Amino acid sequence: MLAMRLLIIAAVAATLVSCTDRWTQLPSIPDKEGFAGPFVGTSNGALLIAGGANFPDKKPWEGGKKVWYDTVFVLEPAGKEWKVAGKQPMALAYGVSVTQGDSVVCVGGSDAARHYSDAYRLEWKDHTLVTVQLPSLPMALANTCGALVGETLYLAGGQESPEAGVTSKAAWRIDLSSRAPAWERIDDCPGSGRMLAVATSFDGAFWMMGGVDLVRNSSGQSERCYLKDAYRYDEGKGWSRVVDLPRPVVGAPSPAPADARGFYVFGGDDGSQVGTPPDQHVGFSKHILCYDKHAANWVEVGESPAPRVTVPLVVWNGAWVVVSGEARPGVRSPEVWTFEPHR
């Protein structure tokens, strides 16, 4: 059995995403800084990015002030450049976004003052941005993770307010195909509370892995505890633990993409540069991990040429696309990178 697993792991590592020639760039978004925590998805063949936050004037270590945005940009199927599509309901970032049908579902998030429970759809229809309200979450959450399993959106973890010294263990779901969709609380996340975890939909289940918890140090201040535990939630069975990540992963593009073999975690913050002055930070992890379902283990399968955190990943025209995101603490990127998976 061990020999078979080793053969599977070797085959996956040799044939999956290690090929750098399958990474290409799309037109950059029309903002010189780019955004962390935007909502991203597809609608009627177009790619949308909404909201997000950045430091437009000075970097945070220079005393710069973070600004939140409500602008929505669109890249149409045959478009050569992004254009302004309109505005989302408020300036917001660090929520969850998934594509369901022909709309981008956006839930939760934050601005400079507080966290939100709002939920809505963004649809690009007949060259016009349409916003449709959805039921609000029963609690405000930002820095949560989420993924669409079938037509049901699952959310897990996060923070209830900017001042919260603890992370949430709450988990929720909503059937977006229902005529009267309503949020339902499911069993709390196992392990510790967490935020900035990675989520995905795979094998008919919702998966959650990594993230950070907030713990009190000896001085009573909150410190980040980097996590590498991983879990899946199956309807009718609840949560079960799967093999841990080989290292902590925080803020990696989420929902993580999947294929028939498994799902893929693109980089993230592994905690190795904690304490490094922000202006000396060399960027987040480039390593791509695959959870291979046959080996029931993690396999390192390549590197990203442009690692980003606090950004969704979206499937568009068969490719895996990372739109903007955070390149290192306090520094965003307007670049848009796309990876062509194996067929």
With beta carbons less than 8 A apart as the criterion, state whether 322 and 253 touch. yes
Instruction: Give me the long-range contacts of 179-184 (CB less than 8 A, separation at least 24).
Output: 181/134, 181/135, 182/135, 183/135, 183/137, 183/138
With beta carbons less than 8 A apart as the criterion, state whether 196 and 250 touch. yes
Q: How many domains does the chain have?
A: 1
- pLDDT, position 217: 83
The tokens 């306090």 sit on which residue? 330
Domain assignment present for residue 76? The answer is yes
- CA–CA dist 195, 193 (Å, integer): 7
- pLDDT, position 220: 76
- pLDDT, position 294: 94
Domain assignment present for residue 333? The answer is no
Q: List the 46-50 sheet strands across, edge first.
A: 39-43, 46-50, 71-75, 83-87
Model's pTM, two decimal places?
0.93
Domain assignment present for residue 299? The answer is yes
Domain assignment present for residue 139? The answer is yes
Domain assignment present for residue 343? The answer is no
Q: What are phi and psi of 210, to 5 degrees?
A: 70, -150
Q: Which two tokens stand for residue 288?
A: 């791509």
Domain assignment present for residue 244? The answer is yes
- pLDDT, position 279: 87
Q: Find all residues with CB under 8 Å of 263, minimum gap 6, and list them.
A: 200, 202, 207, 256, 257, 290, 291
What CATH number has the domain bearing residue 32? 2.120.10.80
The helix/strand count (H/E) of the chain reads as: 1, 29
Domain assignment present for residue 144? The answer is yes
The domain in which residue 261 lies consists of: 2-18+28-315
Burial of 186 (0-12, 13-18, 19+ CB in 10 A): middle
With beta carbons less than 8 A apart as the criterion, state whether 38 and 92 touch. no
- CA–CA dist 99, 196 (Å, integer): 19
- CA–CA dist 324, 309 (Å, integer): 9
Distance in angstroms between the alpha carbons of the first and the last residue of the chain: 28
- pLDDT, position 22: 84
Average pLDDT per block of 10 residues along the chain, 343 residues long? 46 48 91 98 98 96 96 94 98 98 98 97 97 98 98 98 94 97 98 97 98 88 93 97 98 96 96 92 96 96 95 96 97 96 70
Of 119, 197, 110, the C-alpha closest to 162 is 110
- CA–CA dist 324, 94 (Å, integer): 13
